[in-house]
Chain A
Amino acid sequence: MVVTSKKLVHAVFWLALTLVTIGGIYLVLQAEFLFLIQILVYAGAVPVLFLFGIMLTRRKIMEEVTPGEVLETPAEAPREGLP
């Protein structure tokens, strides 16, 4: 689902879920410490960084275009993210 979904934000969410289930595999293999560290790092930080990267780039790169959007020059494009 990570590579086949049309909306990029959904792809990041599925990536988070995939990483959590890999942690689940660690749990089944009785490596609980690895499972906890995987949740801490991968479910807590890596998808957040991905989403930062997605949201701080230009809107034309992302698949979602709201109807009625007038495409401006990159200098005037609305910048989303931390002011």
Chain B
Amino acid sequence: MSGALVSPDLFTLCKVLLTGIMKIQSDAILAGAPVGSPVEPLRGIAYFLMEDWFLTFNAWMIAITIMVTWAAAIQLLTMMWIERKFYSRLQDRYGIMISIWSLPFWPFSWWAKRRNKPTHRGLGYLQNVADGVKLLQKENITPANADSAMFHTAPVLIASSTVMIFAALPFSEGFVIANMPMSLLFILAAFSIAPLGILIAGWASNNKYSLIGGMRAAAQLMAYEIPLLLAVVALLMYAGSLNVLEIVRKQETLLAMVGPIPIPAWNVFSIPQFIGFTVFLVAIMAEMERIPFDIPEAEAELVEGWLTEYSGMRFGLVFGFKWLRALAGSALVVILYLGGWSGPVFVTLTPSVGPTVIPIPIIPHEVWFLLKVYLLFLLFVWVSWSVPRVRIDQILNIGWKRLIPLALLAILLAAYFAALGPALGGIR
């Protein structure tokens, strides 16, 4: 379907670039400190810069920084913007509007004045940055009689387990930090450490409502991990591998042609996986603590639930990592069921005069992935802001009594189809 060029691994790319830069520097030092001059000991630095372990270490650092700090953080900003703009349009209002025209320094203020643009009527992308800066300025209050060690450890637990997900989550075939043989299990395990942090946060706040919110959150999150894992088991019977790259590779083939449109073999198009898809979708909405499963931080009932007592950047950290978990959850749904990053990268032109077809790259793999993640997230936001909140006992009811039988049915059907696969003529 795509991919005449082989995209290099993120780590390999970083290492190649770094080797080039270090070689230039090393050669410059070697040229500037010839043998016999008083600055000769500097040649040791030149040899050190080209050492293999130094280059590998720095290449890993740069790759991790790119993924975690740039890719995840910019996705975070974009997803917050999508949500806030979309739900405000659903509510028939304009929504957030701080953008680069509001920046008070040159050159933006000059451009804004020149084009006669009002400051607070932009696209709204920088509003979230402004909110982050606002949170940095606030005082970090620790409630009295709170369990100080636990209170400060809980956001660390939530944040670190969420960042671990991004070590194994690929944005495309080359854009992954660590391609381990069981990366799907690693991602799900990192997802499931967070309820512990949430419970500790609710407990350590010394606040009845936080405690109730924390216990409800832990019950809900643990209850919905089981249908999540069962749906993944149903998927595994088809995919046969826990490696995320393998799962997406299997979805890149062609399933059928409807008229002129080729339909790729996404996992959502097969019957048992479709049931698994709905189960996984509902379960991941509960894991992200979105409305309608919003009881742990229901504003009308529990103030902010388990994060009531956090203020300033600690609140920003926990709040932001809730969003990052939402990003990881949507990315997981896209990778497992919606074909990951597969999409037509090249449009081939056949010139009437000339030997071969010319591939023109239009949309690279990473952009396909992000488009799918944003569209899925839009669906989540749409559902969130249109339905009322579900009560906690109803939430647990749905989790234990409705989703688990559906997930087991999906496993049954998947096993059936996998056993009879070739006999059914390709129906998966």
Contact = CB atoms under 8 A, between A and B. Distances in A.
B196 interface: yes
Contact of B215 (A9, A33, A82): A82
Place the interface of chain A in its size category.
20 to 34
B392 A9 contact: no
Interface of B: 145, 147, 149-150, 153, 180-182, 185-186, 188-190, 192-193, 195-196, 199-200, 203-204, 208, 211-212, 215-216, 218-219, 222, 225, 229, 392
Nearest to B216: A82
A33 B181 CA distance: 10
Interface string A43-64: 1110110011001000000000
Contact of B192 (A7, A13, A40): A40
14 contacts: A10-B149, A10-B150, A33-B182, A36-B182, A39-B192, A39-B193, A44-B195, A44-B225, A45-B192, A48-B222, A51-B203, A52-B219, A78-B208, A83-B212
Contacts of B215: 52, 55, 80-82
A55 B189 CA distance: 25
Contacts of A10: 147, 149-150
Contact of A48 (B153, B185, B199, B212): B199
A45 B195 CA distance: 8
B150 A13 contact: yes
Given A13-B153, A45-B225, 16 more contacts: A9-B200, A9-B203, A16-B196, A32-B182, A36-B186, A39-B192, A40-B185, A40-B229, A43-B192, A43-B196, A44-B189, A44-B225, A48-B199, A51-B199, A80-B211, A81-B211
Contacts of B229: 40
